[in-house]
Amino acid sequence: MAVPYAEKMAQSQKEISISDFFAKNRQILGFDNPSKALLVSVKEAVDNSLDACEEAGIFPSIFVGLEKVGDKDRFRMTVRDNGPGIVKKQIPNVFGRLLYGSRFHAIRQSRGQQGIGISSVVLYSQLTTGKAALITSKIGEDYPCHQMEVHINTKTNRPQIENPQVVLWDHPHGTEISVELEGRYQKNKKQSVMEYLRATAIVNPHVEIIFKGPDDEVHTFERVIELLPETANECKPHPHGIELGVLKNMLKYTEARKLSSFLINEFVRVSPRGARELLDTAGIDEKRKPNRLQLEDIQSLFDKIQEMKFMSPPTDCLSPIGDMLIRKGLRKEIDSKFAYTVTRDPSVFRGTPFQVEAGIVYGGDLPTGESVKILRFGNRVPLLYQQGGCVITHAIERINWRPYGLEQRGGKGIPVGPAVILVHIASTNVPFTSESKEAIADVDEIMDEIGRALMDCGRRVRSHINKKKKLKKVSEKYDIIREILPEISKKSSSMVGKPEPLLDPIITKIMNVHVFDSGVVYHESGEGDQKQKITEVTIKYQNYTNRERKMRIHVKVPDALIQGIYPETHVRKKGLIEWDVGPIQPARSQRLGFSILGLDKDDYDDVEIYYSRLPGEVIGADPL
Amino acid sequence: MAKKQKFKENQEAQFRLKKIAEYIYGQLRNEEVPHLEVSSRTKNNIVLSKDHKVWVYGSDQVTRSAKDLGGATNILRSLYTVNFIDEMINSGKSSTLREMYYISEGWEKAKFPSQDESNRLAEDLEIITKCMREDFKLRPEEDGARVIGDVTIEEMNRKGLKKKINCKDDVGDSGYGIPYNVEKEKLKFKNVNAKFIIAIETGGMFDRLAENGFDEGHNAILVHLKGQPARSTRRFIKRLHHYSKLPVVLFTDGDPWSYRIYASVAYGAIKTAHISEYLATPEAIYLGITPSDIINYDLPNDKLTDQDVNALKSELSDPRFSSSTWKSEIKLQLKIKKKSEQQALAKYGLDYVTETYLPEKLQEINII
C-alpha cells in the first residue's frame, strides 16, 4: 500500500522561523525598496534610542551618520545615543532577536510597540550585504564598554555573536549601532532621512539630533526645551480593548487562581461587583481557575465583556507632547507668520485611550499654490509613507476648509494654501494599518477627534487671516489720514487761496473704526535662582469713531502668575481679565496691560482680545 | 478776433478746473469726507443721444471718496493735475500726455504709477468739466494717420502762417499727415472734389489702394485709421464729412476688434463717450470685411481664438451693435468660427480688391 500523500507532505511541513518569514517578506516591515529601507533603518534606530533615553530620564542627543560604501547602493549607517546603554548579556537579544523587547507586554504609550524594529534592521543589513551589525554599548562612567558583532540565525531566530571585546569609548554611556546595508539616499524629498529627522525634531523639542549625510554635510537639529516628556504610566488593559486571542493567552498565563480575581487584577475598570455581574451573565462560576476555561467559556466571556459597560480607561498612561511644545517645535523648523496648536482631552476607542494633538502653520514663506503639507505622527514618530491611507489624511480631507480661508476643490480633499498641518495621535495602542506602522486605521472615534482639533485650528487661521485683512485696511486708512488727506487739504487750500480747515472730524469719519493694538515684550531680571522671566503685555484701544464710547474689554491670559494689571478697575475671571472702559472721546485712546511671570520667551505671543457692547467696525479684537 | 475767442475758451477751462479745487475745499470746510463724482465709464452706462445719434454716458455715476486709499489718492492727483494745467495755461504752454506723466514724478504721493492712469485722469477731468483735453493744452503723443485724395486743406503752420495743401497733388506717397489739433483755428477745408470717403484699418491696404490709384479711379478720399483711430483722426473724419456731406465707409479686417474700430468712428468709444458728439460720425457705413464676405468671397481665414469669441459675445450685449444686421453678422461669425484680414483678398490677385471687391460692395450700398 502506498504511503498516504499527507505523510509525504508532513515531511516538508515544519515551523518557519519568524526571521525566515521576514527575510522572505521584507515589505511587511517596510523594506520594500532601497530608499525606503534606508529611511526605515534610520527611523527604527532613532526611535529605539529616543525610547531608551526617555525611559532613563536622559535628554537625548543622537548622532546619525550615513556613509557611502563603494560604488553600489550601499551605505554604512551609524546611530549613536547617550542613553542608559544595554548590559552585555542583553545586547544580542535586543539586536539579534525578533520580537524581543521590554515593551511588548506593557500597556503604555511608547514609540516601539512590537519590539520588531531594530532587529529587523540587523536582519535587513545581513540579507543585503551579508555583514553583521557592530554594536557598542556602555552603561556608565565606571563600566567597561562592550563591543560585538551580532547577526541573526534565521532558522532559529537566535542571535550569534562574533569578536566580543572591551573597547575604549569616549562617551560616559550610550549605545551605538553600525550596520552596512543596501539603500538609496535621496535628498530634498518629502520622504527622506532629512525630512524624517526634521519631523522628529518638531514633535520632540527636547531632543538634539546631529545628522551627517553621505555628502559630509552636517545638520544639527537643536534642542529647544530642557524638559523631558512626562513618562507615561504603565497601565493594565481595559476589557473593551482586548482581543479574543489575547484574552485566551492572559487566562493561560495569569497568576490569579480564581476567575473573579483574574478580571479584577489583570484589567482596569473592573470592580468586584462588575466581575461578579459579568461572570453571572456569562454563566461561568467565578471560582473557576482561569487556565482551565474551555474555549466556549472564553468565547462567552469575551462576548459578554463586549456587551457590558465599564468605566472608560484611565488616560494617565498617555503622554501628549503639549500644544505649547509643538508650537515651539514647529516655529523652530518652519518659518511662518502664524502657528496655532491644540491638545485635545484624552478619549477612548475600543477600550484604548488615545489623544489627538493638532497644529497649523500659516503664511510666511510657505508656497501658496500647492496642497498643504501634512505632518503625521503616531506616538511622536513621524509617518512618512501611505499618506493617502491614513485616518489623519482622511480627517483633513473630510473638512470643508474654504470657510477657514484655504482653497479646496469642491469643498473636499487636501486643501491648497500656504499652510502646514500637523496631527499627532498618542495612544497605548495606535491602530496602524500594517506592521510597518506607516498609516493609522480609520477608527471613527479618532477621526472625529482629529476633526474637532482641526476645526479649532481652522477657526484660528480664519481669524488670523481676517485680522490681517483688517489690519491692511486700517493701515491704508492710516495712510489716508496721515499722508493723503493733509496733502489734499494743503493743495486745495492753496489753490483757492484760503486757510486750511481743521481735519479732525473728517479723520474720524474716514476711519470710523475701533482699533485694538497689542504688544508683548519679554525680559528677564535677576540672576541664578533669583532670575525672573517676565512677559509684559500692553493693549491700546483707540476710538476712531465720531462718538464717545464705553465698552467691556476681555483679554485671555495663560495659566501663569499675572501681576501689575492696569487700570486697577478690573475683574479676574478664569483665564480672563476684564475691564470696563470708557467713556472714551472720539480720537482718544486708552491703555491696558499686565505682566505674566514664569513663561519662557515666545510662549505667549498672540494676545487674544475680546470686546462686548461696542457697535461698529472693530479691528484687532473679536466680539465675545 | 480769433485770438480773443481762444483766450475766452482757455479762461472757461481754467474756471471750470478751479471749480474742482473749490468743490474739494468746500467739502473739507463742511467736515465732509472729500469725494468726486464721475460718470461710470462702462458699456452698461452708455446710451443713445437722440439728437446726435451717437452714444454718450448715461446717468450712472461712480464716486471717488477719500474713505479708501484709491479714492483719496485719485482726489489728490486730480488736484495736482488741475494745478499743473492751470499753471501751464497761465504760462501759454502745452504738453503731451506723456510729459504730464513724467512731470508727476515730482508729485510724491500724487505721482502716477503709469501713463494709463494719467491719461484716464485727464479723461476724468474732461468729463467733470465738460471741456476737451485740447482746452487743457494736453495733447497725445502722435497719431500719424494719413490722407490721400482730392481735398484741399488750409493748415496753420508752426510759424502762424496759413498754408494750403492739396492731399492729392501736394503730398508724397505717404499722403497728408493729420495733426493732433484739427479744430477750426488750426485746420480748414477749402475744396473737396470726391464722391465718398473711405477709412481703412491697415497701412498695407491703404498703400494698396493708393498704388492701384483707387482714389483717382473712383474719386475717393482715402483715410488711414492706423488701427484704433486717434481722436484727431475721428474728429477729422467727422469735420470732413460735415463740410463735404460725402458718405463715409469703413473698410477693416473681419474680426471683433475691427468692429470696435467701426463703432468708435460711427458711435463713439466707451472710454470717450463724453465727447462722442465731437468725434463720432453716425452716418459712417461699415463696408467690410463682414462675416458674410468670408463665406461669399471664400476668403482665406483663421480660427477664432477664445479672446475673439469672448469679444464677439460681449459685442452682442453692447448697445452700439444692437441693430439686426450687426446681430446676425456677429452670430454668423460665432457659428462659422472664422475671421479674415482685409489683405486676404490678395488670394485673387493684387487688383482684386480695387477692381472687384470694393466696386461690388460700394454698388450694394449705392455709392457708385
Q: How far apart are CA A397 and CA A393, in angstroms?
A: 6
Contacts of residue B18 in chain A, CB cutoff 8 Å? 495-496
pLDDT category of residue A14 using cuts at 50, 70 and 90: low
Contacts of residue A505 in chain B, CB cutoff 8 Å? 31
Among chain A residues, the shortest Cα distance to B84 is held by A495
Give me the CATH code for the A325-464 domain, please.
Answer: 3.30.230.10
Does domain A18-221 match CATH 3.30.70.270?
no
pLDDT for res B4: 42
pLDDT in tens, A251-309: 888 888 899 999 998 888 899 999 999 999 988 888 888 888 888 889 999 999 988 88
pLDDT for res B1: 36
pLDDT for res B201: 95
Contacts of residue B69 in chain A, CB cutoff 8 Å? 476-477, 479-480, 484
Of all residues in chain A, the percent with pLDDT exceeding 70 is 94
Whether residue A479 and residue B69 make contact (CB cut-off 8 A), yes or no, is yes
A295: contact with B, CB 8 A cutoff: no
Which helix (H) or strand (E) segment holds residue B43: the answer is none
In the predicted model, residues of chain B with pLDDT beneath 50 are: 1-5
pLDDT for res A606: 79
Whether residue A492 and residue B79 make contact (CB cut-off 8 A), yes or no, is yes
Q: How far apart are CA A201 and CA A210, in angstroms?
A: 11
Contacts of residue B79 in chain A, CB cutoff 8 Å? 488, 491-492, 495
Whether residue A480 and residue B72 make contact (CB cut-off 8 A), yes or no, is yes
pLDDT in tens, A18-55: 667 776 777 777 788 888 889 889 988 998 899 889 88
pLDDT for res B102: 93
Burial state string for B61-87 with b = 16 or more CB within 10 A and e = fewer than 16: eeebbbbebebbbbbbbbbbbbbbbbe
Task: Give the cell for residue B12.
Answer: 472757461
- The length of chain B, given as a count of residues: 368
The verdict on whether B102 is a catalytic residue reads yes
Of B93 and A112, more confident: B93
Closest alpha carbon to B201 in B223, B231, B216: B223
Question: How remote is the C-alpha of A480 from its chain's centroid?
Answer: 46
Pick the CATH number of A239-307 from 1.10.275.10, 1.10.260.40, 1.10.357.10, 1.10.8.50: 1.10.8.50
Whether residue B18 and residue A488 make contact (CB cut-off 8 A), yes or no, is no
Domain ranges of chain B: 2-139, 146-364
Cα of B38 to nearest chain A Cα, Å: 18
pLDDT of A59 > 90? The answer is: yes
Domain ranges of chain A: 18-221, 239-307, 325-464, 502-623
Of all residues in chain A, the percent with pLDDT exceeding 90 is 37
Strand A618-619 and strand A513-525: the pairing is: parallel
pLDDT for res B287: 95
pLDDT in tens, A332-391: 888 777 888 999 988 888 888 899 999 999 988 888 888 999 999 998 888 988 889 999
Classify residue B30 by its DSSP letter: T
Helix A34-55 vs helix A117-129: crossing angle, to nearest 10? 140
pLDDT for res A103: 44
Whether residue A501 and residue B73 make contact (CB cut-off 8 A), yes or no, is no
pLDDT for res B271: 83
pLDDT in tens, A507-530: 888 888 888 988 899 998 888 778
A499: contact with B, CB 8 A cutoff: no
pLDDT for res A107: 54
Interface of A with B in 460-479 (CB under 8 A): 476-477, 479
Interface test with B, best of A469, A472, A488, A545 (most B CBs within 10 A): A488
Q: How far apart are CA A482 and CA A507, in angstroms?
A: 9
Cα of A497 to nearest chain B Cα, Å: 10
pLDDT in tens, A132-152: 999 999 999 889 999 999 988
Give me the CATH code for the A502-623 domain, please.
Answer: 2.60.40.290
Q: Which of B18, B28, B73 sits opposite A484 (nearest CB)?
A: B73
Residue showing cell 518629502: A190
pLDDT of A104 > 70? The answer is: no
Provide the mean pLDDT of chain B.
90
Give me the CATH code for the B146-364 domain, please.
Answer: 3.40.1360.10
Name the β-bridge partners of A499: none
pLDDT category of residue A317 using cuts at 50, 70 and 90: confident
A487: contact with B, CB 8 A cutoff: yes
Closest alpha carbon to A120 in A261, A26, A250: A26
Pick the CATH number of B2-139 from 3.40.50.300, 1.10.10.10, 3.60.21.10, 3.30.70.520: 1.10.10.10
Name the β-bridge partners of A178: A78, A134
Interface test with B, best of A477, A492, A500, A508 (most B CBs within 10 A): A492
B23, B57, B101, B102: the catalytic one is: B102
**Residue A549 contacts residue A582 (beta carbons within 8 Å):** yes
